[in-house]
C-alpha cells in the first residue's frame, strides 16, 4: 500500500514538473500584449513586420514594458490604441538590439493633435513642429504630435519618422549631452571617427546638398537623429548611398539590420 502511494506521489510530481515546464515555455513564446495591439503592430510597423516569430514576441514584450513605464497623455487630443502602439514602437526600434535598455530619462509623452506653437524649438523648415524632447520644466517629458506620429509610420519609405527622431535624441541625451554622440552605447574607440564623419557630412550637405534631410545639417545632434530615421526606414538605400554611415550606425545600434 505504501509503495502504491509512493508511486502515485512520484507520478504526480512528474506531471506537476511537466506542467510548470510547459507554462514557462508558453510565457517564453508569448507576450501579454493584447491581440488588437499586436494587430496594430502588424498593420503599421514595418520594422516589426520584418522580424521573425521570436523577434516579434521580443518586440511585443518591450512594447508592453515601455507602456507600463511611461505615461501617455493627450493634450487636446484623444490617445487611441494606435497612438500608444506607434509611440512605443518609435521608442523600441532604435534600442531593440540593446537588450537591457530603459528610457530612465522619460516619464511622460504628451500627445498634441497638430503642430504646437513656437514656445518650443522649431523643428525644421518643412516639418513645422513635429516633436521635441523636453528640457527645464519639461525634463523627462517628450512632446509629439498625433499627425506627425502617424505620418511617420504610414509613409514608411521616406526616411522620416518623428517618433524615431525624438527617441534617438533621448538615447543621445542619456550620457548628459545631446550632441549626436551616444556615448552610452557607442564604444569609445569609435566616438572620434563618428564625430568627424558627422561634421564632414554636414559640411558636404551645406556645400552640395544631399539626399539626407537637410534638417540634419543644423548640427550634429539633429544629424544623428535624421540619419537614424534614414537608417531605420530605408537601410538598403542608406547602405547604397552612404555605406560609411550605414556601417557606423550598425555599430551604434548593434543591429544586424540588412541593407
Ligand atoms: Zn530633432
Q: Which residues of 109-138 are buried (b: 16+ CB within 10 A; e: fewer)?
A: bbbbeebbeeebeebbeebebbbbbbeeee
Predicted local confidence at residue 19, as pLDDT = 75
pLDDT of residue 27: 54
Task: Tell me the CA–centroid distance for residue 169 and ligand 1, in Å.
Answer: 7
Q: Which domains does the chain have, with CATH numbers?
A: 35-253 (3.40.390.10)
Q: Which residues of the chain have pLDDT under 50?
A: 120-128
CA of 223 to the centre of ligand 1 (A): 8
Strand order in the sheet with 141-145: 71-74, 108-112, 141-145, 131-133
- In this prediction the pTM is 0.83
| pLDDT tens per residue across span 175-194 | 989 999 999 999 999 999 99
pLDDT of residue 128: 47
- What distance in angstroms lies between residue 129's CA and the mean position of ligand 1's atoms? 10
Centroid of ligand 1 to alpha carbon of 12 (angstroms): 60
Q: How far is the CA of 116 from the centre of ligand 1 (A)?
A: 15
Q: What pLDDT does 122 receive?
A: 38
Strands (DSSP E) found in the chain:
71-74, 108-112, 131-133, 141-145
Q: Are 62 and 96 in contact (CB under 8 A)?
A: yes
Coil, helix or strand at residue 255: coil
Looking at residue 125, its pLDDT comes to 41
Please give the distance, rounded to the nearest whole angstrom, from the Cα atom of residue 23 to the centre of ligand 1: 44
Amino acid at each position: 500500500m505504501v509503495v502504491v502511494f509512493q508511486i502515485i506521489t512520484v507520478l504526480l510530481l512528474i506531471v506537476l514538473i511537466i506542467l510548470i515546464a510547459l507554462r514557462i515555455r508558453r510565457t517564453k513564446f508569448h507576450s501579454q500584449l493584447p491581440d488588437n495591439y499586436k494587430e496594430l503592430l502588424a498593420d503599421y510597423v514595418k520594422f516589426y513586420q520584418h522580424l521573425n516569430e521570436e523577434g516579434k514576441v521580443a518586440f511585443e514584450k518591450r512594447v508592453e514594458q515601455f507602456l507600463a513605464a511611461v505615461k501617455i497623455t493627450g493634450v487636446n487630443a484623444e490617445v487611441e490604441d494606435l497612438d500608444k502602439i506607434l509611440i512605443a514602437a518609435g521608442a523600441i526600434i532604435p534600442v531593440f538590439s540593446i537588450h537591457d535598455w530603459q528610457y530612465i530619462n522619460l516619464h511622460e509623452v504628451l500627445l498634441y493633435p497638430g503642430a504646437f506653437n513656437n514656445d518650443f524649438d522649431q523643428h525644421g523648415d518643412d516639418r513645422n513642429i513635429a516633436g521635441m524632447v523636453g528640457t527645464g520644466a519639461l525634463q523627462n517629458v517628450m512632446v509629439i504630435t498625433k499627425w506627425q506620429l502617424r505620418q511617420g509610420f504610414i509613409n514608411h519609405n521616406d526616411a522620416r519618422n518623428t517618433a524615431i527622431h525624438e527617441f534617438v535624441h533621448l538615447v543621445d541625451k542619456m550620457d548628459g549631452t545631446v550632441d549626436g554622440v551616444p556615448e552610452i552605447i557607442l564604444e569609445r574607440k569609435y566616438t572620434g571617427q563618428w564625430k568627424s564623419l558627422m561634421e564632414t557630412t554636414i559640411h558636404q550637405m551645406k556645400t552640395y546638398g544631399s539626399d539626407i534631410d537637410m534638417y540634419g545639417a543644423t548640427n550634429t545632434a539633429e544629424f544623428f537623429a535624421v540619419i537614424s530615421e534614414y537608417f531605420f526606414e530605408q537601410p538598403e538605400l542608406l547602405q547604397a548611398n552612404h555605406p560609411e554611415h550605414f556601417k557606423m550606425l550598425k555599430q551604434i545600434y548593434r543591429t544586424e539590420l540588412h541593407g
